[in-house]
Amino acid sequence: MLLFMKSVLKNFLEAYLLDKNRAFKLVYDFSVAKGHLSKLVNNILDLDELQYWKATVDEIKMKILSGIGISLILMISFQRYRMKT
């Protein structure tokens, strides 16, 4: 999951850098395991979580750009999509 989320965040980061007023929505069709992603999806963003996600974004951008990690995370909303079977 971590590699998937880093890939998604990389794409969001690229779009965000073009226009910092953008907002993002991750639509997913899977159960989210307990952990950092579930806290993000459920908007449980205490200081530890914000620091975790900022560090994750910083890792993605390899410290070339600074100051946008938390702003990017706060611009993402989530929607679960359940496929009809």
30-75: pLDDT as tens digits: 888 888 888 988 989 999 999 998 888 888 776 445 555 666 777 7
Confidence (pLDDT) at 73: 72
Residue 57 has, within 13 A of its CA and on its CB side, a CA count of: 23
**Which run of H or of E encompasses 24?**
strand 24-28
Quick check: pTM over 0.85?
Answer: no
Confidence (pLDDT) at 46: 92
Q: Which two tokens stand for residue 47?
A: 């200081």
pLDDT greater at residue 45 or residue 18: 45
Confidence (pLDDT) at 1: 53
Confidence (pLDDT) at 14: 79
